[in-house]
């Protein structure tokens, strides 16, 4: 590739970076991930610059590259246990309380069993996952607060949280309880 074309690519990318970032942010709704995907767009765009025949069509072309990378990222995360799912698991306690008000002894017993099942499931996880789950969902800490407290990179916190939720979803303690075998 000639140096003039490379230079034009860099200049055009810098010129349109804000649009690229905003487009990706709109799709992903996460600033850090949008930043990462925007950087990945630069690399992938450079790698496939030879496919762009007219530099006047750079903006729509590079936005398409960014959009495709953002959607690919979302597709790769589809099987991940969502925050809403985790909130539902933690809220089992409250749901049981509401449904079982007729008998305080029974309600108390069920509440203890639900609490025990959730706690046991979290305790059964590797400490690096369980600690982040507790901080995030029981202490309502932000990713930034968790990263600071544990002296970790924010992306490490996000990765461990995602993996921890997935492992929690697969845990035997919760599966038994949710499927009705634990009560």
pLDDT, position 101: 53
For residue 52, is it left (φ>0), alpha (ψ between -120 and 50) or beta? beta
**CATH 1.10.1740.10 intervals, the chain:** 3-76
pLDDT value, residue 42: 93
pLDDT at 171: 76
Residues of the chain with CATH 1.10.10.10: 83-178
pLDDT in tens, the chain (183 residues): 688 888 888 899 999 998 899 888 887 888 889 999 999 999 999 999 888 888 888 998 998 999 999 888 887 775 444 445 455 555 554 554 555 454 556 556 656 676 677 777 777 788 788 878 877 776 677 888 888 888 889 999 999 988 988 887 777 766 665 555 444
**Inter-axis angle of helices 58-76 and 3-28, nearest 10:** 50
In whole angstroms, what is the distance from residue 26 CA to residue 34 CA?
9
Element (H, E) at 10: helix 3-28
Q: How far is it, in rounded angstroms, from Cα 12 to Cα 155?
A: 29
CATH of 83-178, one of 3.40.50.2000, 1.10.10.10, 3.30.365.10, 1.10.40.30: 1.10.10.10
Q: Which of 99, 115, 108, 41 is nearest to 73 (CA)?
A: 41
For the 3-76 domain, the top CATH level (class) is mainly alpha
Q: What pLDDT is recorded for position 75?
A: 78
């Amino acid at each position: 590739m000639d140096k003039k074309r490379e230079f034009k690519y860099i200049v055009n990318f810098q010129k349109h970076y804000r649009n690229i970032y905003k487009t990706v942010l709109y799709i992903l709704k996460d600033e850090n991930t949008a930043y990462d995907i925007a950087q990945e767009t630069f690399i992938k765009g450079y790698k496939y610059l030879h496919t762009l025949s007219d530099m006047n069509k750079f903006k729509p072309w590079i936005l398409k590259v960014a959009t495709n990378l953002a959607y690919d990222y979302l597709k790769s995360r589809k099987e991940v246990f969502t925050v809403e799912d985790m909130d539902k698991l933690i809220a089992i306690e409250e749901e049981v309380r509401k449904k079982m008000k007729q008998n305080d002894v029974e309600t108390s017993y069920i509440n203890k069993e639900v609490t025990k099942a959730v706690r046991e499931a979290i305790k059964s996880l590797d400490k690096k996952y369980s600690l982040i789950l507790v901080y995030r969902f029981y202490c309502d800490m932000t990713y930034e607060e968790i990263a600071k407290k544990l002296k970790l990179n924010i992306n490490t916190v996000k990765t461990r949280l995602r993996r921890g939720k997935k492992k929690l979803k697969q845990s035997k303690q919760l599966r038994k309880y949710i499927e009705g075998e634990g009560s």
